[in-house]
Amino acid sequence: QFLALATLTGLSAACGSSGRPATPAPPAFRTELRIPPLLEPRTARDGTRHFALKIQRGRTELLPGKPTETWGFNGPHLGPTIRAARGDRVRMSVTNRLAEASTVHWHGMRLPARMDGGPHQMIEPGGTWTPHWTIDQPAATSWYHPHPHGETAGHVYRGLAGMFIIDDGDTPELPGEYGVDDVPLILQDRDQAGDADVLGGTFGILGDRMLVNGTYAPFMTVRAERVRFRVLNGSNARRYNLVFGDGRRFHVVGNDAGLLAAPVEVEQVSLSPGERAEVVVTFSAGEQVLLRTVSGGDDIDEGDFDLLKLVAAERLTPSPALPSRLAAPEAIVVPANARVRRFRLNGHDAINGKEMDMSRIDEVVPAGATEIWEVENTVYAHNFHIHEVAFQVLDVDGQKPPPYATGHKDTVYVPPKSTVRLAVRFGGFTDPVTPYMYHCHLLRHEDSGMMGQFVIVEPGTEDRVSRTIAH
Ligand code: C2O
Ligand code: CU
């Protein structure tokens, strides 16, 4: 399913076009980065784009000499990239070929709760689920992964994850040729010993081997002056502090849920599980540089690791200059009388002292509301993800977030013993009986119950909503 797993032959071929001998890569970085293929939709007569996903089992040698059972969408590991544009009507058909039930959640997507793919939309073995909706949100890098309650960590760790790119006609001149100068990077860590316990310890998996798009120690040949990387932290628990080996500066152009108003120059970007960043990196012909993650002094970002070697070709295709303004979604304005809801994370298996209960509605939100959600973490590292919404980080312990993290987001790091305030804008799909989730995206915590449920209802009907749902 994935594009050629290159060997040394592939490397020579890749570098051979300059007519000069290929530079030998160090042994650790000689496998060509896999690029998840784009999933080709079938377009129905009414214009609906049909995407078909099959959840299946396979075997993959993720680490050299250690073939293991893996799960994937339409292949043995990970899934194809789905790409759709604002205004598209899409219909997914998700078939489950596993021996156990799962779900597929469209992380970052604004859609009716019944289409969300959370723990209430289980797909039984052999079953097919066919959610459909109209894409109506700004350009962004989203993703999809299973969400069966109590089982998400295992399902994602075995390989069930894929990118979902949303295009918007407004998108300015950013690099956009998929796999060439617009490249997905799914960051995940594996436990080399192979005996990782996804629900063990405080954080579950914190692996010692890094994969990018399922490729261990990969290289990528860069052919354009500027490359946009869509980086997804698809790990169970690890936080990445991304830098380049030569300390070069680069630009962040987008957060989880949309572009920034203008590119922000940085030398480091941090991503906790589930977060995305779109970055643009400038290269000189013939150079090589490593993308790395460095220790951040927290339990979940311990260790320095090389992730990906970027090898620039001897001739690079000229790229347009980085635009100075980007088509960012409008800032989220918090009304003076905005409702404030408080969420307390202590331990790893509850929010506000309550463990996730599929039959309990924790919060009832009126459609279209803008609220402040205040997330207080009294212990070690967590993060916080809210389905359906876009939010902006107001402050972390009273401090503004760094400029590169001021855009629209759906997942945020909540550092140990700190409080994060979010300006949250809710959508308009009402359904008093089908909840959306909010939770810590450290999957071991999510699975243990650090998750709650909210419904969106017609304004004025909040009091009539039953707090218990049958299923
Ligand atoms: Cu990425 Cu509720 O999930
Ligand atoms: Cu957590």
Q: What spacing in Å lies between the alpha carbon of 338 and ligand 2's midpoint?
A: 27
What is the CA(273)–ligand 1 centre distance, in A?
Answer: 10
Identify the CA nearest to 316 among candidates 284, 280, 281, 279.
284
Regarding the beta carbon of 385 and ligand 1, being less than 6 Å apart is answered yes
CA of 269 to the centre of ligand 1 (A): 21
Give the span between the Cα atoms of 346 and 353, in whole angstroms. 8
Q: Are 346 and 453 in contact (CB under 8 A)?
A: no
437 ligand 1 Cβ < 6 A: yes
* CATH number of this structure's domain 340-460: 2.60.40.420
Amino acid symbol at 164: F
Residue extents of the structural domains in the chain: 8-167, 182-317, 340-460
Ligand closest to CA 413: 2
Kindly indicate the confidence band of residue 171, based on its pLDDT and cuts at 50, 70 and 90: low
Please tell me if the CB atom of residue 108 comes closer than 6 angstroms to any atom of ligand 1: no
**pLDDT surpassing 90 at residue 17:** no
Cα–Cα distance between 122 and 101 in angstroms, integer? 6
In angstroms, what is the span from residue 239 Cα to ligand 1's centroid? 16
The CATH number of the domain covering residues in 182-317:
2.60.40.420
Per-residue pLDDT tens digits for 367-419: 999 999 999 999 999 999 999 999 999 999 999 999 999 999 999 999 999 99
Decide which of 48 and 66 is more confident: 48
**8-167 belongs to which CATH class?**
mainly beta
ipTM above 0.85, yes or no: yes
Q: Is 408 in the pocket of ligand 1 (CB under 6 A)?
A: no
User: For 115-149, how does the pLDDT look when each residue is reduced to its tens digit (9 = 90+)?
Assistant: 999 999 999 999 999 999 999 999 999 999 999 99
Q: Would the CATH topology of 8-167 be identical to that of 340-460?
A: yes
Q: Minimal CA–CA distance to 56: which of 132, 131, 142, 123?
A: 123
Question: Would you state the structure tokens that stand for residue 393, as one six-digit string?
Answer: 């980080």
pLDDT one-digit tens code per residue, 409-449: 999 999 999 999 999 999 999 999 999 999 999 999 999 99
List the residue whose alpha carbon is closest to atom 1 of ligand 1: 107
What single string gives the DSSP state of each residue in 97-109?
A: -SSS-B--EEET-
Please tell me if the CB atom of residue 105 comes closer than 6 angstroms to any atom of ligand 1: yes
Measured from the CB, is residue 329 less than 6 Å from ligand 1? no
Q: Assess whether the C-beta atom of 120 lies below 6 angstroms from ligand 1.
A: no
468 secondary structure, DSSP code? B
Q: Whose CA is nearest to atom 3 of ligand 1?
A: 107
Joined together, the tokens standing for residue 297 give 């002094």
Return d(Cα 407, Cα 338) in angstroms, integer. 20
pTM: 0.93
- Residue 145, Cβ neighbours under 10 Å: how many? 24
pLDDT band for position 471 (cuts 50, 70, 90):
low
